Chains A and B, each alone.
Chain A
């Protein structure tokens, strides 16, 4: 299975405050193996002193146009340089990496829960599983941070909240989720966001199967260096290889 590619940048645009959407080309070999919830590991071009690649979730895969989309928030040197790449530039990428969400045919009713840039990987579900019954609970800091709401609305009953109430509901997306859980039960919950969001989720999902996409500082992204670990069921597992998606019940930091 080939995973190391040179791909062309098609566009790289600002879609919300400090948030960019990058579209690159991809090959059939990639399309064959891609699973929603996987990530790409990008070498930052023209930055030899930045030795490490940057891991970014796959936001969407367009099978017809053969494109991979990633949405990222500019936080430091690497993502700032990435925001400067232009159409036509070539990027060195490893993809698709990680396990991705485990989706079975019995999972019809799927609820997506995300916070901030963590909403990005949830949209990748619509690249492959268009026929499911979705609800999306998307949290953002404020109105300026909101992105891709319309894309979610196309496939999911979508509820947007902002921490400051400047757009949509006021508060956390998990507040709304809690209310909905009192009325209905999904087959599975898929979530991505900061640790506090996972903590709240852990306390409200009960027995509902819940998969969370974890972040960790990474080296290789390919299972070689064991730097990217997360405590899973008492073991230090590699987020890049055994993750990034784990069963919420197994994440040691969320229980006990």
Chain B
């Protein structure tokens, strides 16, 4: 049993107090959560997706509960990057921990625009959300075609003044191929997984529960898929830091992702169930390290035992 654990980790040169990060889309811009927890105690917070133009998002119903999971179709509702900088950023900036922007778009130019607008802020890392339909390519997701993915990453990389985390979508045949494409485009780190496309039906009305028909599945239901993908990307040996996520509800879940190869983790759905879930997860992960005689949390990363 250890008494002290060094919880610090580093992602693309940015030091985090601990490896637990609030995932994009479940903590808004972080401001609302100070009444539930000490937001500054998190390793980092990821802001919800920002786009060039303001987006109203999808019509409700936007959420459905499924077996051990949640399906959502928010549709990237946000005020647009300019309004965000003008009206909200001054308050968000005061949250005393590392901040990560989540950048989304419908065309490569949109990603470039948002990136340029955020360049001169104190936001430390840019997470590029490539799980978005590409309007110019018939709505195919940027993240599901290796050459399109590499292209959008390289264009954003040309202008970005902060390290880029590319957030991979799991709705692909080979996650390793997409991870390589992201690296070739200039990624500084990878985060995975975004939500799995799914749907839910009410058999009595014969209608989809979500107005948008399909939505993104998250929560414990996707954890096995997420772990497998983090493992595969780690095995690809690209040398990029990995941020793992998908259904993390406890410190043990977080430890599993680190063992599979993650340097840090993100937590989304758990925050919907319990607004202070991220704090509990930090404490549980620290306790896990203590009882397993781990002095430095980075020692956990990639320690999966494949031999007997």
Name A residues whose Cβ lies closer than 8 Å to a Cβ of B. 1-4, 43, 48-53, 92, 94, 216-220, 222-231, 235-236, 241
A52-B272, A227-B60, A230-B60 known; 10 new pairs, CB 8 Å cut-off, are A4-B276, A50-B65, A52-B63, A52-B273, A216-B61, A220-B271, A222-B32, A224-B275, A226-B74, A229-B57
B147: Cβ under 8 A from any A Cβ = no
Q: 9 tightest CB-CB pairs across the interface, nearest first? A: A227-B63, A223-B32, A227-B62, A219-B272, A220-B272, A217-B61, A52-B65, A224-B27, A224-B28
User: Per a CB cutoff under 8 Å, which of A43, A94, A225, A241 touches B72?
Assistant: A225
Contact A225 to B219, CB < 8 A, known contacts A51-B272, A219-B272: no
Q: Whose C-beta in chain A lies nearest to the C-beta of B54? A: A235
Name B residues whose Cβ lies closer than 8 Å to a Cβ of A. 25-28, 32-33, 35-36, 48, 56-57, 59-65, 67-70, 72, 74, 77, 219-220, 269, 271-276
Specify the main secondary structure of chain A where it touches its partner: loop
Do A226 and B28 have beta carbons less than 8 Å apart?
A: yes
Chain A residues with Cβ below 8 Å from B48 are 226
User: Per a CB cutoff under 8 Å, which of B36, B57, B62, B70 touches A222?
Assistant: B36
Point out which of B25, B36, B61 has the most chain A C-beta atoms below 10 A from its C-beta. Answer: B36
In the complex the two chains form, what is the Cα distance from A3 to B37 in whole Å? 10
Chain B nearest CB from A159 CB (Å) reads 33
In the complex the two chains form, what is the Cα distance from A229 to B27 in whole Å? 15
CB<8 Å pairs between A and B, sample of 22: A1-B35, A3-B35, A3-B36, A4-B274, A48-B68, A51-B68, A51-B219, A92-B274, A217-B64, A219-B63, A220-B26, A222-B32, A224-B27, A226-B57, A226-B62, A226-B74, A228-B62, A229-B60, A229-B62, A229-B77, A236-B56, A241-B32
Do A51 and B275 have beta carbons less than 8 Å apart?
A: no
In the complex the two chains form, what is the Cα distance from A220 to B72 in whole Å? 12
Do A228 and B273 have beta carbons less than 8 Å apart?
A: no
User: Per a CB cutoff under 8 Å, which of B26, B56, B63 touches A217?
Assistant: B63
Contact A219 to B72, CB < 8 A, known contacts A2-B35, A229-B57, A241-B32: yes
Do A51 and B77 have beta carbons less than 8 Å apart?
A: no
Q: Whose C-beta in chain B lies nearest to the C-beta of A2? A: B35
Point out which of A48, A218, A222, A230 has the most chain B C-beta atoms below 10 A from its C-beta. Answer: A222
Do A216 and B33 have beta carbons less than 8 Å apart?
A: no
Chain A nearest CB from B30 CB (Å) reads 9
Chain B residues with Cβ below 8 Å from A235 are 56
Do A223 and B269 have beta carbons less than 8 Å apart?
A: no
User: Per a CB cutoff under 8 Å, which of B57, B59, B70, B220 touches A219?
Assistant: B70
In the complex the two chains form, what is the Cα distance from A141 to B70 in whole Å? 33
In the complex the two chains form, what is the Cα distance from A148 to B112 in whole Å? 59
Do A51 and B65 have beta carbons less than 8 Å apart?
A: yes
Do B271 and A226 have beta carbons less than 8 Å apart?
A: no
Contact A217 to B70, CB < 8 A, known contacts A43-B273, A223-B32, A226-B28: no
In the complex the two chains form, what is the Cα distance from A218 to B27 in whole Å? 14
Chain B residues with Cβ below 8 Å from A220 are 26, 271-272, 275
